[in-house]
Amino acid sequence: MDVLPDSTFMSDAIKMQITENHIYFLERTSRQLIKLNTDFSINTRIGEWGIGPHDLTEPRNFFLVNDSVYIMDIGSKSIKCFLADNNYIYSFNTEVFSEQRIFTHNNFLYMGSYNRDLKTSISLLNLTNKKDISSFGESFDFNHSLQNIIKNKRDLLKDHEYFYAVSDNQPIIEKYDLINKEKLESFNYSFIPIIQKNIEFINSKPDSPNSYTAFVRDSYIDNGELYLLISTQGDKFLANTILRIKLRPNFELNTIYHLPGNIYSTFCIENDTFYAFNSETASIEKIRQN
């Protein structure tokens, strides 16, 4: 599907997620949050681009709490709250943002955000007392201050009493306890052939403190399993491989999927069905797991 039910074209989707038979994602050109039902017949636009106090200038992330949608607007350094029918509720200012996967638990927002003073990797924003921000979590040390900032990005995904931190540039998945915020274990998946080839290609390139190569394009968690959208680095760039990793009782590679297109930017899963955004055709594809 490359045209939404309201007859508008899509350009790019950011952070697709699915709940109660509706797919949510940020649409890059319109700078709005899209709520789309899973049979692609009805969509709602949430938020409007503009410079007013209710408007969005540069939305980069969002999260859902009950019937409310919270949109992270980096342009106005604020988080704006709407009902799912596009009614604006309120907003609050914040200095802490993340463009990675985020989640809420017990009225706290968990974000992958590097603290250069404490050298932690996760920020915790109290949604009741918005000025209460703390940090925890282990970080990677790249022996360069700028590299430590840009390469310590993590998707955070909740699963029952645990959550998982997924680096976009290291083949490491970290498991945390939600109660005491302690890291319990790590899983290194560099043994997978596509990851081995990516690491070899990355290591062959000259180092630059201002940039890095990310091979995890997106991640999602569903029914106790973690899915990673992996890019293929090299002469021909591809981003159409999904790793399915079991989380219980231990980490274990389950399945490797190859999506039909060449380059995908984000995806979500429900009932063994992938909903993935094909960047080349600017369309959402509905793909059954085999």
**In this predicted model, what pLDDT tens digit does every residue of 126-158 receive, in sequence order?**
999 988 999 999 999 998 899 999 999 999 999
Among candidate residues 173, 152, 281, the one with its CA nearest the CA of residue 230: 173
Q: How many CB atoms lie within 10 A of CB 196?
A: 12
**In this predicted model, what pLDDT tens digit does every residue of 54-65 receive, in sequence order?**
899 999 999 999
pLDDT, residue 51, reads: 87
Cβ atoms of 115 and 144 within 8 Å: the answer is no
**Which region among 182-186, 273-277, 285-289 has the lowest average model confidence (pLDDT)?**
285-289
Same domain, 196 and 163: no
Same domain, 89 and 109: no
Task: Report the C-alpha gap between 82 and 56 in whole angstroms.
Answer: 12
Same domain, 113 and 207: no
Same domain, 202 and 288: yes
What is the number of domains present in the chain?
A: 3
Residue that terminates a domain, selected from 69, 93, 117: 93
Residue that terminates a domain, selected from 93, 110, 136: 93
Instruction: Write out the residue range of the structural domain in which residue 27 sits.
Output: 1-93
* pTM across the whole model: 0.95
